[in-house]
A and B are shown apart, each in its own frame.
Chain A
Amino acid sequence: MKTVRIFIASSSELKDDRDQFRMFISKENDRLHTEGIYLEVVQWENFLDAISDTRLQDEYNKAISTCDIVLCLFFTKVGKYSAEEFDTAYQVFKDKGKPKIWTYFKNAQINTGSITDEINTLLAFKKKIGNLGHFYTEYTNIDNLINQYRTQLDKFLPAFEKVIINPPPSPPQAPIENTFNDLLTKRLIQAMKPYDRKANDFLSTYGNWETNKDLVPTVKRIIISGYVGVLGIQLRKLMSIGEEDFSEYKMKRYLENCHLTALKALQLISYALISTLWDSKLNNKVNLSDEQTNVLIKFFKSATEENINDFSNLLKTLITAFLDNKLELPISELKDFIPKLQSGSELHNACSNLNAITDLLNGASFTLGDCANAEKNLTVLLENLNFLVAYKMISIKDIDYNFQRNDKEGFYLHHYTLLDGENQANNNSNGKIRKDSTPVTSYAVLLFKDNYQQNINLVPFIIDYNGLADSGGSKICFYSFCNTFDDMNLNYSFIEDNSKVTIKKSGNIKPDDTDVRAINKWLSDKENRKDMNFDNVFDLFYKAKKALAGIEKETEIDEF
């Protein structure tokens, strides 16, 4: 028979609840004894008589440290003893990882005449344990308490058995302080300041935000919504993981997402440059050196996703190509970026370290120190890319033209979705509308800074799968790799969960444009339009590949 000791701490006003709770425990014992478990209740009325005043604290310590569960019940006041019992239990828990403390506040009607100053003890206590990060729940009546307790007990007992069956647990470790994202938050809000009015306004109003824990979430939200589109999404994930209780799994996901954030940031800039370079190449304004062409060939042919180091190198090559050809960089802030990408620089080291996270994850051995390093390196990267805060990313769906009788001129209705860290979670199937005097490319993902018309079209490297399929909402996918040595299909990764999305040629042949009837009939079918959109992405990729790397897709397989 294994005994689970339950210590009940509560003020005298809850005597009835306590008594009923004891009855519940004895009933549970009837049920549990068949499973070899006995629940023993330790209650303070019994207990106080047995201990001497002078040694009170020691006796508490001793008694509570032998317990497995401490149940704290409070109603309108927190008696001196109850508060001490909680403190003692909490201290023992911090030192030994035991007992479990389950705290319940009774939430029931009270007679306002019965309220005394003692209510302050309750409020102060709630605040105090809130600050400790201790989780508590409320109960309305004894049935409610018992049922909540039963649920918790059901979860607890199997674990308890395990502890008892297994050899004694290793000595408890000191509790781990949660410092995830502290550095990232502090440095990114500063880095955003020159580019983001929200960040700027916030910092000038709340210079001392770090000392006020209520303001920290606001800072995090400014960062999430500030960093352009996909980076905001990634930062939201990191912030969320950071809030979790410590676990191996938390560390693993934190590392994974630091790595992914870095990769997506470099991909975004590289794709913006490749896309623009392709436009210039079509206008015959570009001459690429052999070295530059080789880097592009490697990118276009790679049959696995390129890593962070590859993208850092690609980025350097692309910026050089723009500078060599005296082309205007679509992201002007990259003009002086080359030195930052040289080996030995802080940014270069940060990228290499972030790239090495995959080894850590593959080896499945990582520590809190690794997480802190990843956070630091990612901070360096995002500080250097702080200008991205000034950019916006939108997914344009279809564009309507509206020109009515007696109008002097028509106007365009652009259907779009704004991509940012939090909107992704709230995409509305309706999307938004913007009225404009000129059209832009439809079914595209656009990156732009001040002037919407001067945008960078990221298709086919970044696509909105749901936009192309006209299914509502947005599903932004980054080009990942191409099945170069196989069926030539294109693989993208969905930014929300990094899952693979494959685009292949549909084989649904569009009728000739000259046959008006046939083409109209064909286009009237939504499925045909969807095929057309995806086929277009597929063709665009191979056109870009041909233009920039000089490779015809038909000859691919022969070369190897």
Chain B
Amino acid sequence: MKKYPFKFLDSYQREDRGIFFGRDEEINALYEMVFQSSVILIYGASGTGKTSLINCGLAGKFQPHDWLALMIRRGNNINKSLEKALIDAGGNSQEAVVGVDWFNEWSDDSEKDKTDLSPICKSINAVYQKSFRPIYLIFDQFEELFILGTIAEQEIFIETVQDILQSKQPVKLIFSIREEYLGHLSRFERGVPQLLRKKIRIEPMNLEKVKQVIIGATEYIDSNISIKSGESDIVAEGIFDKIKGGEKSLTIQLPFLQVFLDKFYLKITNDESRRTEAEFNVSTLNDMGEIGDVLIDFLEGQVTDISNKLKAMYPVLTPEIIWKILSPFSTLEGTKDPIKKQDLYERLPNFDRALIDAVVENFINSRILRYNENNEMFEIAHDALAKPIAEKRSVEETAQLEIKRLIKSQVAVKEEGREYFTEKQLLFIEPYLEKYPISEEEKEWISKSKTHVKNEKLKVINQQYAELSKKRRIKILSAAIVALLLLIATTVYFAIKAREKGIVAEQEKVKAENAKNNTKKLLKLVMQGRGEQYTTQNDSLLVEQLRIEQTYPIDSLIVPKASVSPSNSGSNNRNYMLWIEVPSFRKYEIEQVNYKLCKGFVDRLRVSNEPSSSFSIGYLGFGYCPIVDIDVILKTGDTIQKSFSFEDYFIENPLP
């Protein structure tokens, strides 16, 4: 049967070498290096195909009896992962090693008593003796050791590598790392000087190589895709241009190429099983969108599909919820962030676990997520998909993540060296504390920081006060003598005036008291005017409320609201009104509010930039959208995404 020649977001494996094109030069260079050093470093940008180059390109150069590759990802701890990979390959370090304790000048340490070997080297020895194949330890995504690993973990690893290299076992080490992390290798290089001697950079794909990929895969004899005769070059160049989009770059990213090719195939065949034969041609290609759309399209398509598919079982499910479930898989910066199932549950405390399971399951089937057996973590199949997920986060969610990182990074340091949160940070953290569960230690540190900030402030005030009184004291002393003379002279005068002044002061006091009472009354009136919930509150709470409204980030203060009332004319249609509730003195921060209505409305985008009406819109109609997405665009340019559920509204406010 003919085969679908693209791998989508998976990396190519040894058995795919028939359909792996465009990397001959790099494969040959890498293969030569294997015979030049025991340590090889492969680096390049994310998504340049480093993993495929090793697993498929390099592996394909070897006969099966010359190549035993163990792929090692960091997981929770690179040292444990290495151990596990070896044990899984049959290397039980507990097994007794039978060696012959004899050596001469030429075979010196290579024949050193094998019982002296470290546990890792014993494991390697055992793995080797099972198959007599040279072992290649491949550390994929090695940057994870530097992004996520502790110094202690890194140091143990460096020692292990030194140990392996000295053990003279038939083993080679290949490290694959994203190039932006090369600088992190300096300590490692000090311990293992040959680390950077044999290295190869995997360049992004240029037009020539992309052509090789497309033409190679379509001319491959068992491929179920072909290109319309005579159009090979134009189609390949067209695909390259589409993926490049408006950028001036001479290269493109591989995962984009794969997603694009997959979309292209589906556009022609509509066959999800990818069995139907397809012919690529220029005219269909011209109808394809640009890559950015294709990629986000793809992910969004999956989100909608999965939402529809699971709707029957989980009626609460919306695409928005799916995006929220995906959110923990992406870092703040929009790169992938592997996560254990248990941690995922904890990150999504208000979600039904069965629902999370079902969503994850479906993303695995559509290859957007994958499960890594070595570390039992789930992760996004590729960084390229992490970005759109990060971009889908609301301002609030992003802020939550930032706060989480802030707290974690501060508290991760030992208490002696830890810094207190600053007043500004505390202000930033506070609004989210209720929504985001934190540990006792973190809680304690926040409260200690608060005390610290308070004490610092007091200190400053005391200092200022002390300075002030010092200045006063000098003035007072010199003035004292004059004053003494004057005192005698004026005593008589004051005695007369004193009575008069006492009366005025009394009057002033009454006036001030009245003003204060008036302010409180006014505040109460204003706040009561803003809703029932304020009527019963005492003064100090109202003041606190005002403080919150003044200082909290605006996204936490915005609440979409709606009202529905019968038509004035008494017909069946109703008046629908949508607005956002926000403290009046913060309205000026908002530029405009977009209300996105669902299908069925003639005017699907309604915009209000009228602060005085609380940015309201309204319509007279027979129907409503179950959920209205609302974009609040701030003057700063940020967009806050909110939504309003009429479904929930009508549950709380049933129609008469």
Contact = CB atoms under 8 A, between A and B. Distances in A.
A425 B111 contact: no
A426 B38 contact: yes
B132 A236 contact: yes
Interface in A167-199: 197-198
B408 interface: no
A519 interface: no
A57 interface: no
Contact of A496 (B35, B37, B96, B197): B35
A388 interface: no
Interface stretch (A237-245, A305-313, A346-354, A504-512): A237-245
B507 to A, nearest CB: 80
B393 interface: no
A127 interface: no
B35 A147 contact: no
Interface in B61-116: 61-66, 88, 95-96, 98-100, 102, 106-107, 110-111
Contacts of A206: 98
B371 interface: yes
A12 B225 CA distance: 50
A144 B372 CA distance: 9
Interface string B178-211: 0000000000000000100110000000000000
A456 to B, nearest CB: 16
A237 B65 contact: yes
A198 B111 contact: yes
A258 to B, nearest CB: 13
Interface in A186-235: 197-198, 201-202, 206, 214-215, 217-218, 220-222, 224-225
A217 B129 contact: yes
A26 interface: no
B553 interface: no
Contacts of A151: 373
A418 B106 CA distance: 7
Nearest to A146: B371
B163 interface: no
Contacts of B106: 392, 394, 418
B596 interface: no
Contacts of B96: 214
Contacts of B132: 217, 220, 224, 236, 239-240, 242-243
Contacts of B111: 198, 225
Contacts of B563: none
Contact of B65 (A144, A253, A428): A253
B176 to A, nearest CB: 19
Given A237-B66, A243-B131, A474-B35, A197 B102 contact: yes
A197 B35 CA distance: 30
Interface in A438-472: 466, 471-472
A473 B37 contact: yes
Interface string B349-389: 00000000000010001000001010010000000000000
B102 A428 contact: no
The interface centre, meaning the residue of B65, B66, B170 with most chain A CB atoms within 10 A of its CB, is: B65
Contact of A144 (B36, B365, B376): B376
A253 B63 contact: yes
Nearest to B64: A244
B443 interface: no
Per DSSP, are chain A's interface residues mostly helix, strand or loop, or mixed? helix
Contacts of B38: 426-429
Size category of the binding interface on chain A: 35 or more
A444 B40 CA distance: 26
B341 interface: yes
Contacts of B66: 237, 240, 496-497
A419 to B, nearest CB: 10
Contacts of B571: none
B171 A425 contact: yes
A120 interface: no
B194 A143 contact: no
Contact of B98 (A215, A240, A253, A423): A215
A16 B273 CA distance: 33
A472 B171 CA distance: 17
Size bin of chain B's contact surface? 35 or more
A143 B376 contact: yes
Contacts, number: 127
A201 B100 contact: yes
A140 interface: yes
Contacts of B99: 218
Contacts of A34: 273
Nearest to B131: A243
Given A143-B376, A473-B36, A225 B107 contact: yes
A241 B35 CA distance: 21
B98 A466 contact: no
Contact of B110 (A27, A141, A242, A423): A423
A422 interface: yes
A31 B366 CA distance: 11
A550 to B, nearest CB: 37
Contact of A143 (B32, B341, B365): B341
A206 B107 CA distance: 22
Nearest to B168: A426
B418 interface: no
B170 A422 contact: yes
B130 interface: yes
Interface in B1-59: 32, 35-38
A236 B100 CA distance: 18
B134 interface: yes
A466 B170 contact: no
A148 interface: yes
Given A392-B106, A418-B107, A474-B35, A198 B376 contact: no
Contact of A425 (B32, B172, B197, B273): B172
A241 to B, nearest CB: 5
B129 A221 contact: yes
A201 to B, nearest CB: 6
Given A425-B170, A429-B36, A198 B371 contact: no
B371 A428 contact: no
B169 interface: yes
B455 to A, nearest CB: 46
Which of A201, A249, A420, A471: most chain B Cβ within 10 A?
A471
Contacts of A137: 88
A428 B165 contact: yes
Interface in B463-508: none
A316 to B, nearest CB: 31
A407 interface: no
B371 A147 contact: yes
A244 B65 contact: yes
Given A147-B371, A241-B65, A426 B172 contact: yes
A472 B134 contact: no
B133 interface: yes
A240 B133 contact: yes
A528 to B, nearest CB: 20
Interface string A464-505: 001000011111000000000000000000001100000000
Interface of B: 32, 35-38, 61-66, 88, 95-96, 98-100, 102, 106-107, 110-111, 129-134, 165, 168-172, 194, 197-198, 273, 341, 361, 365, 371, 373, 376
7 contacts: A217-B132, A218-B98, A225-B107, A394-B106, A426-B168, A426-B170, A427-B37
Given A224-B132, A237-B63, A240-B131, 15 more contacts: A140-B376, A144-B373, A197-B102, A198-B111, A215-B98, A217-B129, A240-B133, A241-B65, A394-B106, A422-B169, A426-B38, A466-B35, A472-B198, A475-B36, A497-B61
Interface of A: 27, 31, 34-35, 137-138, 140-141, 143-144, 147-148, 151, 197-198, 201-202, 206, 214-215, 217-218, 220-222, 224-225, 236-237, 239-244, 249, 253, 392, 394, 418, 420, 422-423, 425-430, 466, 471-475, 496-497
* 10 A-B pairs closest in CB distance: A425-B134, A425-B170, A217-B129, A473-B36, A240-B132, A240-B65, A429-B37, A472-B36, A239-B132, A147-B371
